[in-house]
Amino acid sequence: MEEDWTLVTTERKQRVETAMPSPDPEVIPLPDESLPPASQFHVYFSAIGCAYPTETAIPPMFSTQPQVLAARAVKDPDIFTYDQAMKTPERKDWMKAAEAEISELENHNVWIEVDKSKVQQQGHKIIPCTWVFRLKRYPDGTPKKYKARICLRGDLMETKDDENTYSPVVSPITIRLFLTISKYIGYTTCTFDFSNAFVQADNPRETYMHIPRGFLGEEPNQCLKLLKSIYGSIWAPRLFYNLARSVFEKLGLIKSEVDDCLFYGKNIFVIIYVDDLGVAALNPNDIDKLAADIESHGLTLTKEESFAEYLGIKYTDLPDGSTLANQSGLIKKILLATGMNNCTVASTPALNKDLGIDQEGVPMSEPWSYPSVVGMLLYLSNNTRPDITVAVSQVARFTHSPKQSHSSAVKRIIRYLKGTINNGTILRVPKKLSLDCFVDANFCGLYNIDPPELTSSVRSRAGYIIKFCGYPLIWKSQLMDCICLSTAEAEYYALSQAMRALIPVRTLLKEMCLSLNVPEFTNPDSILTTVHEDNQSALRLATEQRITSRTRFYLARYHFFWEHVRNGDISVIYCPTETQEADYLTKNLPEKDFVRIRELVQGW
């Protein structure tokens, strides 16, 4: 029973600066210097509370036997282990960050210290924990904050089959719609950070953790019982979301039916992303009042001024009243990771031809991680750079076994980014409310590029872009998951895929209009929704809605949106290829055509 346990009451306000031998602060270790030799594995991990019974229990990553490394994994230069952080010139900054973390956890009464043997006798598992040190940066790459975090080893936790650990994350579409509406009606935006968010939620499960490194007077026979949630726990994100949601609803905010992370009230929007909060309101005083009301319910917030920087994306107001969204810091990180800081620039992100599988090609020989770099490029293309989307989609096909031709294609994208590092997507002050969708397809685009014996050689590529008030909300470029038998079918397939994305956006827009006291938004059904299609066969099939023997075989799969067209909710019209903005999402275009469409979509 808990009341029989021996509680340790020794205060732990001082931390161990001498727990490890004092390293030379001028010596910066290589990424693997913090890892112990295999023979020291048991001793090393026992010192930080991990229980491995014998030296033979050495995980494969520490084995002296040859291992196959996954595509040259590269350490993130902004993330450090305990030993690595203590060996950097910023050692004192990391120590202060660790002190702040411990103090914060103690102030929230996150744990109590209990007798380890009693816990083990009752059959409870004691989970190891680890320190994670991270240098947070502004979107332009300059240092912002030294952050230390104690993380539970969630990968070693067990759950029951019926336990739900899912926690929703706000959609990028919602964020862009949030910003566009705020820009249109002149809302003030602000971001907040929940201070040590996860530990503010109670932990309903009986969870035990080893004592973290850095405690003075550390007792080997003690462990920690977690009373609150903690970072790394598999339940932590959901527990905190449920807590935040209950607070918002108590304050009268309504949760969106489309996006669980969007809440709205009278003339105010709130979006939550894990432990970050975005707020937009007509009156700045309403933002301060909301923050005060949230804190009155026990949640601690740190104000970070306007919505100028969010999730690594920087929003800059330009002299003409427009707003530029870009990620120059991420581009600098990509240049650094690939050693291409001094590379020559390219005018387009790809050559004027599609990228194939290259079965007989030479394996990639670059010293950087192909999956890691492609992952960063995907994040960039999905958030602010639709101009590289089709090129990145092509190189992403080959992360499992990249050839030299594929790494050359990646470098071409990077050289283009080097020349456009300060560009992104521009949100101009809209003149009218409109929702536009541009759709295109490239029928059998890989024919004569991939080997004919592969089905990919006859797969088509679909591309679409959805814009609200001229600002891109969604853009997509992907190979179709089925083989189309004609250009008309490929175009209609792309149209159907675009409709799947467009219809929820209309629903989300209607929801957000409910909270606005602005004449233009009082009747969201009056907001013109137009789909621009450059294929006459697909256009007729969508508008005339006639079924023939040649089209009935894909009736159920593709025609679901007909009701919206019949009701007049969505208008499908013809647009010539010259004004088809989705054209650069289906193929690699010549420079002249590429720049023309980039201007239409991104404003530069």
∠ Cα 198 210 194 (to 5°): 15
pLDDT at 28 over 80: no
User: Hey, what domains does the chain have and what are their CATH numbers?
Assistant: 2-163+197-237 (no CATH), 337-419 (no CATH), 430-602 (3.30.420.10)
524 residue type, one letter: P
Alpha-carbon distance 395 to 376, whole Å? 12
Helix 487-513 / helix 172-185 crossing angle, nearest 10 deg = 60
Residue 159 neighbours by CB distance under 10 Å: 12
Q: Give the residue-averaged pLDDT of 343-361.
A: 90
Let me know: does 466 contact 502? Beta carbons within 8 Å: yes
Give mean pLDDT, residues 221-227.
90
Task: Please give the helix or strand (H or E) that residue 416 lies within, else none.
Answer: helix 404-419
Residue 534 has pLDDT above 80, yes or no: yes
Give per-residue pLDDT as tens, 463-472: 999 998 888 9
pLDDT at residue 25 is higher than 90? no
Question: Which of residues 419 and 543 earns the better pLDDT score?
Answer: 419
Task: Please give the model's pTM, rounded to 2 decimal places.
Answer: 0.76
| Percent of the chain with pLDDT strictly greater than 90 | 34
How far apart CA 194 and CA 17 sit, in angstroms, is 29
CA distance 3 to 510: 55
Question: What pLDDT does residue 7 have?
Answer: 31
- Three-class DSSP category at 260: coil
pLDDT band at residue 191 under the 50/70/90 scheme: confident
